[in-house]
Amino acid sequence: MHDDRDLVEARLKRVLHERVRPAVYPESVPLDVAVWHAPGEPVPVAEGLAGRTEPIAVGTRWGAPWGTSWFRVTGTVPTTWAGRTVEALLDLGFDENLPGFQCEGLVYRPDGTPVKGLNPRNQWVRIGAPVEGGEEVRLHIEAASNPVILEHHPFRFLPTPLGDRETAGSEPQYTLTRMDLAVFDETVWQLVMDLEVLGELMAELPVESARRWEILRAVDGALDVIDLQDVNGTAERARSRLRPALSAPAVPSAHRISAVGHAHIDSAWLWPLRETVRKVARTTSNMTALLEDEPDFVFAMSQAQQWAWVKEHRPEVWTRVKKAVADGRFVPAGGMWVESDTNMPGSEAMARQFVHGKRFFLDEFGIENDEAWLPDTFGFAAGLPQIIKAAGSKWLLTQKISWSQTNRFPHHTFTWEGIDGSRIFTHFPPVDTYTCSMEGGEIAHAARNFKDKGVARHSLAPTGWGDGGGGTTREMVAKAARLRDLEGSATVVWETPREFFEKAEAEYPDPVGELYLELHRATLTSQARTKQGNRRSEHLLREAELWAATAAVRTGFPYPYEELDRMWKTVLLHQFHDILPGSSIAWVHREARATYERVAGELNDVIAAAQRALAGEGTTPLVFNAAPHTRDGVPAGGARTPAATGRTTIGERPGGGHVLDNGLLRVEIDARGLVVSAYDTEADRETVAPGRAANLLQLHPDFPNKWDAWDVDEFYRNTVMDLTDADEVVAVEEGVRIVRSFGASRVTQVLSLAPGERRLVLDTEVDWHETEKFLKLAFPLDVHAERYASETQFGHVHRPTHTNTSWEAAKFEACNHRFIHLEEPGWGVAVVNDSTYGHDVTRTVRTEGDRGTTTTVRVSLLRAPRYPDPETDQGVHRFRHALVPGAGIGDAVREGWRINVPERRVTGARQSAPLVTVDAAAVVVTAVKLADDGSSDVVVRFHEAHGGRARATLTADFAFDRVTATDLLERPLADVPEPEREGNRVSLRLRPFELVTLRFRRP
């Protein structure tokens, strides 16, 4: 037989495009359209429905950037259409390549009842099936003219003012394209689905496969019987020719795909938070409607915040959502407040993501989430498995690891082991997308790509348009139905996440370590103010809980349950994986800065009120220490008059510069303002590598190949400018001030040495006006270390300093929280920070002198990408870092807390003892609070922070009649006995990095 594949495939493509798809709507009549453009921000539905409209014609431009237009469409169903299915086709000017990234709409009935969302690939609204003819049609569309920020095919990352309403202008963005009533021919539509599924499957099968040729002949035969001048009259004959090919069952060994309806909605990204509220309403309206039409379909939605938005802003949609949840088909997923970044949130914040997320779903629906659902998060902190487990969950889904640039991850289904030994069963779908559309190429890729063949057969496919929402379409459901049991394809069945994980876990466990994403490393640095706002909010929340709980127990101070709950949720929302990472538009980060300022003001008020209640009225100077370690004689969590400290001298340095000396550390700062010596007097040991200088600012060009705010590509290191010229190096009361100018920017630093401490503090102010540059602060250290530690949630993770393999080389930019620590046996160095995350650590062997090893720690300060925010980080920034010579890991932990939680000085009448004390330095208390249920029980959370075994005694300075180990949601752990107790003391034995939550029941 002659090879006519190309001929038939080309025939199929043209006939589908030019004849069959257009015949889905064989008849149409135009609707009358009028519009009211709402001024300013979106208005309530009732106001939009009542807006004074003016006629608008198809073909007219509409929609200023970020505007809202209310369209009213009216018409009459022709009487000749009686008995037929009729739909309204409402095209606002969509580009089908950009679902979720452009204009969208929500359709209402005249009484304000939402019908469904409008998206580029979902433009229809059912009017009747069948109609009687003569029906009056009246619909309202709340249309959002969100501008296109990300150009598609190919992606182009061009600077644009459209990312903020303040700079976007008023030029109309879209052209009204189609507003019609149309007859919907379901037979033709089903034929389209038949031909698409078989055509896409055929293209994925081997040419030598008999099945491919069977499909080819079936398709060719179906095309033969289609009358191109009467597609509607011959569609059923064509379908009958295809049924044998569509009814052939899959082979028993076929890969099995669990399809989960999904619409990954970024809580903010190329749109502001307020627009996400509407995106969620559109998508949930679509999905509840689709669930009513498709009995096999299952939809899962994560992010409790988004559910809360529906409840608050769209109660009529919420009613439909609740019914679908009760039916088991609209599934709360993930158990987190938002799909947060997981690298940068602190220990307590990461825990509270699960606390608030899981509690919302429990309170609203009585549903306990067993899975963490993070398809798009930019990498995963090594402490996350323990947090997931402590929240009462046991599974994790992610997708983003498939984006890694250098190494292909060797599993799709595996057990992930965290730093404390906790293991979480993990899956990342081999379909390699969280917006699967059920195309044949995606399904075939999932089966071919699956890394765990032979021991596992199941994978998951999140199915539906996402990022900007939209969700699953009826076309995707129709394709899945045909793929349920089809020869040559993986099998597809709609299932909940729980159903998938139960099947997958029964097949295949295999432990692995850190999940490092080899991409989007620059998100650890972009938008410095957002990151600072997050870090400071986290510590303020901890302080507010600590002092409010202490004051409540000691004085009856009213504990601000509702205020703290609200502020936690606000901070958690801003940890979403495009806000905290700095990859959103200017509007998002402008609002974030204002939000963090407001939160800081409210939390400082709570702290001040609680401290006033504790201190009373008086003139005695008191220091409140919220850090988890004693400081200057003030116990952790207590307040008292501070102990006296020593003194620091500032002298002239021979050859220029200055010397800081406090008897423990002697620091030489040369005439360039660089630290050429940091001598540990007690250890008789130099910190700075010979011939090198610390406090070295380095400037790199920074123009990645794509994803500007997200990525830094390794070639940035090829070019560097050392900023060694100083405008000023002078001694001041605090220490030594250095001023530098470069480009259009200016840096002012003050280096200080605290009395009685081995800690050189570097306060850095940068007035930053560079573009596409990367600013680093370098510390070349005379330390030979095979690995270094960087803090993560509830512990630290070790990474190698070498690049022996491609896996290590790919980690050229990594995340830390408060500290980086490296050491030789018996002596180490820590670099601590108050608000930065990105860093790199490299090592070289000196070729001259002692031929020792120089290990260089560089912290990342600022970037200047121009997309999606063309003014990223322009302006003044302030950072605080400290170099801590002679530091063990415990010193690194302590100094990291010290620099992030400054003492507070208050005058009053009385000192305050801590509510709880722990007698082991390795055990760090991260939370002291009252129980969330309002019972006034005291909850204490702590962990082993040094990476070893710990024995400790926790002493409670208040009356309690029972102490119970709980999960993060403060529920007793069924399989854990009550801790050993003697009076008010509790005996503890902790494994390395073990996390413990205790609840003290007060009488």
- Tell me which residues are annotated as active site: 376
Beta-ladder partners of 824: 827
Note if the bond before 161 is cis, omega within 30 degrees: no
Distances (CA, A) of 894 to 284, 656, 763, 946, 948: 47, 34, 19, 11, 16
Sheet holding 124-128, edge to edge: 28-30, 178-183, 86-91, 124-128
Q: ∠ CA(534), CA(536), CA(540), 5° rounding?
A: 115
**Residue 20 CB contacts under 8 Å (≥ 6 apart), including other chains:** 188, 191, 192, 195, 226, 231, 235
In one-letter notation, the amino acid at residue 708 is D
Q: Give the tokens for residue 955.
A: 């002493």
Task: Please report which helix (H) or strand (E) contains residue 385, including its range.
Answer: helix 384-390
Taking the C-alpha atoms of residue 881 and residue 357, their distance in angstroms, rounded to an integer, is: 34
Measured distance between the N- and C-terminal CA atoms of the chain, rounded to whole angstroms: 89
Which pair of tokens denotes residue 331? 């599934």
CA distance 465 to 469: 6
What sign does the CA torsion over 201, 206, 209, 215 have?
A: positive
Written as one string, the DSSP assignment of 316-343 is HHHHHHHHHHHTT-EEE-S-SSS-B-SS
Give the integer Cα–Cα distance in Å for 107 and 140.
6
**Cα–Cα distance, 852 to 663 (Å, whole number):** 27
CA distances from 357 to 175, 339, 350, 392 (A): 40, 10, 11, 12
Question: Which value, to the nearest 10 degrees, does the dihedral of the CA atoms of residues 614, 615, 621, 623 take?
Answer: 0
Integer Cα distance of 271 and 273 in angstroms? 7
Q: What is the distance between the alpha carbons of residues 322 and 319, in angstroms, rounded to a whole number?
A: 5
3-state secondary structure 170-194: CCCCEECCEEEEEECCHHHHHHHHH
What size, in residues, is the chain?
1003
How many Å is the maximal CA-CA distance in the chain? 102
Which pairing describes strands 728-731 and 736-742: parallel, antiparallel, or unpaired? antiparallel
Return d(Cα 486, Cα 482) in angstroms, integer: 7
The one-character DSSP state at 355 is H
In this structure, the strands spanning 423-427 and 395-398 are parallel
Which residues lie across from 658 on neighbouring strands? 652, 669
